[in-house]
Amino acid sequence: MFDDFSKRAKAVRAGMALAQQRKWGDITLADIAQSAGLSLADLRHEFSCKSDILRAFQAEVDAEVLIKVKAAPAGQNPRDRVFDVIMTRFEVLTPYKPALKRISDYLCCHPGEGAFLACSTLASQYWMLAGAGIKLDGPGAALRVAGLAGIYAKVFQIWLDDPSASLDKTMAALDRRLSTGEQWLERAESVCESFCRLACAFVPRSWRKSSGETKSAPPSSPQPSPSPSMH
């Protein structure tokens, strides 16, 4: 998943390898730099903090999943497409499961640091929806991304504790939550569309006219001058 040459990739690999052996909170930037064969100055050029290393890991996982996912067959249910993409993500994450377990345990007790990953986590789910061929415009786009992020967060914790190779518990939880989320999203999108129509009803018609629709009044015909009086 990571190339062997860039300093950035070396640092991310080193961070994840250390997290398999030690608590994430006990790992310093100096530890990561030393393990990666980099100086602290090199590491600073690539990252601003340890959370940056996790964000880089997320981005690499996103790219690997998008490489692996296949084009959806015609007529496949959108929920099934999302299911396949998320399960592919868990497949890509499997070699890093012990490290992710330690990192997750640490972040659960340090929500301030976990908050640094909020934007990159939403971005990851945006790309997972894109990989599933899901529409990402219109009033429901943000709801889809936020909804999948919430579902993924719950199922991710189940996956971390699912020891089976078949991941039956993980798949059952993901299927159940996607089904519930799909029903909720349909209702929410209906409300959004109704709100948009209501908002448009309060926009003055003159605002919706293009400038070309307004016709200027024809110039009035000049009135004849009165004849001079004859005295």
The predicted-structure confidence for 98-153, as pLDDT tens digits, reads as follows 999 999 999 999 999 999 999 999 999 999 999 999 888 877 788 889 999 999 99
Residue 20 falls inside a structural domain:
no
Would you say residue 186 has pLDDT above 80? no
pLDDT for the residue 141: 86
Rg of the chain, C-alpha, whole Å: 28
Which two structure tokens, joined as six digits, stand for 137? 């415009």
% of the chain surpassing 90 pLDDT: 65
**Average pLDDT of 215-219?**
50
pLDDT (0 to 100) of residue 204: 56
Please state, in angstroms and rounded to a whole number, the distance separating the CA atoms of residues 43 and 203.
53
At 76 the pLDDT is 81
Region 167-189 average pLDDT: 82
Separation of alpha carbons 176 and 102, rounded Å: 27
Instruction: Tell me whether residue 216 is in a domain.
Output: no
Q: State what percent of residues in the chain have pLDDT above 70.
A: 78
Side chain identity, residue 133? G
| Tokens 């998320």 found at | 86
Q: Report whether 132 contacts 73 (CB < 8 A).
A: no
- In this structure, what token pair is assigned to residue 39? 């100086």
What pLDDT score does 226 carry? 46
pLDDT above 90 for 72: no
Residue 56 counted as domain residue:
yes
Give the pLDDT of residue 230: 40
Q: Is the dihedral of CA 106, 112, 118, 120 positive or negative?
A: negative
The answer to whether 72 and 132 have CB atoms below 8 angstroms apart is: yes
Report the chain's mean pLDDT, rounded to a whole number. Answer: 84
24-35 b/e (C-beta count within 10 Å ≥ 16 → b): beebebeebbeb
Q: Is residue 151 part of a domain?
A: yes
Residue 80 lies inside a defined structural domain of this protein: yes
Per this entry, what is the length of the chain? 231
Which letter does DSSP use for residue 27 in this model? -
Burial class of 7 by CB neighbour count within 10 A (0 to 12, 13 to 18, 19+): middle
pLDDT value for 138: 76
Domain contains 8: no
How much is the average pLDDT of 10-22?
97
End-to-end CA distance of the chain: 108
The total number of structural domains that make up the chain: 1
Q: Is the pLDDT of residue 189 over 60?
A: no
Q: Which structural domain range is residue 94 located in?
A: 50-200
| 36 falls within a domain | no
Q: Is residue 217 part of a domain?
A: no
Most confident of 81-85, 182-186, 187-191: 81-85
